[in-house]
Structure 1
Amino acid sequence: MSLQKSATVVASIVAAILVIIKLVVGILSGSAAVLASAIDSILDIAVSMFNYFAISKAEKAPTEKFNYGLGKIEALAAVIEGTIITISGLFIFYKGVINIIQHKQIAYLGSSIFVMIASIILTGALVIFLNYVYKKTNNMVIKSDALHYKTDLFSNSAVLASLAIIYFTQWHWIDGVFGIAIAIYIIKEAFELIKEGTLMLLDVALDEEIVDNIKKIITSQPEVTDFHYLRSRRSGDTNFVDVHVVFTPEISLMDAHRVSDKIEDEIKKLDPTSNWHITIHLDPYDDSPHGEDH
């Protein structure tokens, strides 16, 4: 089992443990924040299981039907996960408002505080592990999962703070206020996740810094007179680059091929953690339309 798939299994197990303890205490205490956190953990299980499926599909080799593989399923998973997080945030917002309006009293404060401390410890350890896996694999699904549990860590801390305030002051309306604040934060983070996944699905170009460095690598070769039709995109853990490189008509095919190999090797060094699929078309003259942007 790959490291990224193992990470989704670990995340599912942790989420299941959190669901059990949060759901029991949330129902008994009546806390909107604790109950919302429990529901969010239920969604975490579904998301982590979906992520396992997405990674399994994305890791498969290209086929006759899918010539470039299924790397974009990771972006699709990020969009779906972001949507789920948004729904969770909206529900938490709703419960917070209701608790304020109805002046909901929180019971079993001691047990609730203990549960949230345990949740913070487990979630914190999971976030550290997922970030480690992301740095090793550069997998977008793992990145989205890490972000998801990072928002959980923030929300769990906020819930603990609200319970502590209620314990010492008996200001039960604080539970609703913290629930609303958590919801706003979660929705904001989810929007960024959906945006990133959508951009990948739409074949957004690689980061501007990487593209600029690619241009510098191409123009640094003395045998290259010009280039055009530079295109880039990312799918899963693979960066795709296509470019037409112009040489003089007199250069031999062997020499032109040697230069293009050198360009490919230098480009791959820009991001060693990712796979690269580079296609260089060799031109004996500039065949781009006049004024074609590099």
Structure 2
Amino acid sequence: MTLARKATLVSTATATLLVFIKLAVGFVSGSVAVLASAIDSVLDLIVSAFNYFAIRKSEAPPDELFNYGRGKIEALAAVIEGTIIAISGVFIFYSAIKKAYEGTVMTHVDTSVLVMLASLCITVALVLFLRHVARKTGSLVIKSDALHYQTDVFSNGAILFSLGVVYFTEFELIDSIVGVGIALYIIHSAYGLVKEGVYILLDAALEEEVVGRIVHIIEEEKDVSSFHNLKTRRSAHTNYVDVHLVFNAKMSLLQAHSATDNIEAKIRAIKEDEVWDMNIHLDPYDDSKEEEALRDAPLAQQ
């Protein structure tokens, strides 16, 4: 079993533990913040279980149906997870406003404080573990899982603060105020996660810095006259690069191939811990204008 899949099992087990603890205390105390945190943990459990499935499928090798593998399942999982996180944020926002309007009073505040303190410590340990796995594997699913539980760290800290205020001052409105703050933070975090997943699904180019370094590597190769049709994208742990390199027509295929190998080696060195899949076309002259004319021809006929 890979490290990424083990990480999803750990997060699933942790979420299960937190669900039972928070739900019990949330219903007993009447705290909208604790109950919101419990609901968020239920979603964590569902998402972590889904992540295990997503990573298992994304690790499957390419086959006749999926020639490029199933790496984009991770991006799809990130979009689904981000959407679930956003929905939970909206529900928490609604619950906080409802409690403020109805003026519900909390009970068993001291027990709630102890539970949320324990929950905070457990979640911090899980986030540190998931971050470590994300750095080692480069998995977008694990990265999104770490982000998800990171929001829990902030929300648990905020809930502890609100419970402390209620315990010492009986200022009940702070529970709703903190609930609204947590909801807005969760929705904001979900937006970034969904955006990253959608970009991968739509084959967005690699980071501007990485593309710039690729261009620099190609331009500094003395045997390359020019280049065109540079395209980049990412899927799971693989970076894809397509480009046409123009060489002198009188240059031998062996020399051109050697220059191409040199370029590929330098590009792979940009991120050595990631997989690179490069499709480099060798041209004896710049045919970019011809290709552009062929692409525009069907439009002209219409």
- Report the TM-score, using the length of structure 1 for normalisation: 0.98
Which residue number corresponds to residue 8 of structure 1?
Answer: 8
Helix, strand or coil for the counterpart of 1:242? strand
Which residue number corresponds to residue 255 of structure 1?
Answer: 255
Q: Displacement of 1:249 after TM fit?
A: 0.7
- Code of the residue aligned with 1:141 in structure 2: it is V
Instruction: Count how many residue pairs are aligned between Structure 1 and Structure 2.
Output: 292
Q: Unaligned regions of 5+ residues in structure 2, if any?
A: 293-302
Which residue number corresponds to residue 56 of structure 2?
Answer: 56
Which residue number corresponds to residue 217 of structure 1?
Answer: 217
C-alpha change, 1:235 and 1:9, in structure 2 (3 Å) is same
Q: In the aligned structure 2, how far is the partner of 1:184 from the partner of 1:102?
A: 21
Which residue number corresponds to residue 200 of structure 1?
Answer: 200
Which residue number corresponds to residue 42 of structure 1?
Answer: 42
1:276 aligns with 2:241: no
- Code of the residue aligned with 2:277 in structure 1: it is H
Q: Displacement of 1:274 after TM fit?
A: 1.3
- Code of the residue aligned with 1:202 in structure 2: it is L
- Code of the residue aligned with 1:76 in structure 2: it is L
Q: In the aligned structure 2, how far is the partner of 1:165 from the partner of 1:290?
A: 71
Helix, strand or coil for the counterpart of 2:61? coil
- Code of the residue aligned with 1:158 in structure 2: it is A
Q: Displacement of 1:219 after TM fit?
A: 1.0
Which residue number corresponds to residue 240 of structure 1?
Answer: 240
Which residue number corresponds to residue 178 of structure 1?
Answer: 178
- Code of the residue aligned with 1:122 in structure 2: it is I
Which residue number corresponds to residue 133 of structure 1?
Answer: 133
Q: In the aligned structure 2, how far is the partner of 1:291 from the partner of 1:68?
A: 25
Contact 1:104/1:173 (<8 A) preserved: no
Helix, strand or coil for the counterpart of 2:230? strand
Which residue number corresponds to residue 296 of structure 2?
Answer: none
1:146 aligns with 2:146: yes
Helix, strand or coil for the counterpart of 2:271? coil
Helix, strand or coil for the counterpart of 1:270? helix
Per-residue displacement from partner, 1:233-273 (whole Å, max 9, x unpaired)?
00011000000001001111111111111111100111112
Q: Displacement of 1:173 after TM fit?
A: 1.2
Q: Displacement of 1:291 after TM fit?
A: 11
- Code of the residue aligned with 2:286 in structure 1: it is D
Matches within 5 A, 1:104-119: 104-119=104-119
Which residue number corresponds to residue 91 of structure 2?
Answer: 91
Q: In the aligned structure 2, how far is the partner of 1:141 from the partner of 1:273?
A: 17
Per-residue displacement from partner, 1:262-289 (whole Å, max 9, x unpaired)?
1111001111121110111000110001
Contact 1:77/1:141 (<8 A) preserved: yes
C-alpha change, 1:67 and 1:291, in structure 2 (3 Å) is closer
Higher helix share: 2
Q: Percent identity?
A: 54
Per-residue displacement from partner, 1:132-158 (whole Å, max 9, x unpaired)?
001001110001000000001111111
Q: In the aligned structure 1, how far is the partner of 2:243 from the partner of 2:63?
A: 24
Q: Displacement of 1:290 after TM fit?
A: 7.8
Q: In the aligned structure 1, how far is the partner of 2:273 from the partner of 2:85?
A: 28
Q: In the aligned structure 2, how far is the partner of 1:61 from the partner of 1:278?
A: 18
Q: In the aligned structure 2, how far is the partner of 1:273 from the partner of 1:107?
A: 52
Contact 1:228/1:288 (<8 A) preserved: yes
- Code of the residue aligned with 2:80 in structure 1: it is I
Q: Displacement of 1:104 after TM fit?
A: 1.0
Which residue number corresponds to residue 230 of structure 2?
Answer: 230
Helix, strand or coil for the counterpart of 2:242? strand
Cα RMSD of the aligned pairs, angstroms, is 1.1
Which residue number corresponds to residue 156 of structure 1?
Answer: 156
Q: In the aligned structure 2, how far is the partner of 1:176 from the partner of 1:4?
A: 37
Which residue number corresponds to residue 76 of structure 2?
Answer: 76
C-alpha change, 1:291 and 1:54, in structure 2 (3 Å) is closer
Q: Displacement of 1:97 after TM fit?
A: 0.4
Q: Which runs of 4+ in 1 moved over 4 A?
A: none
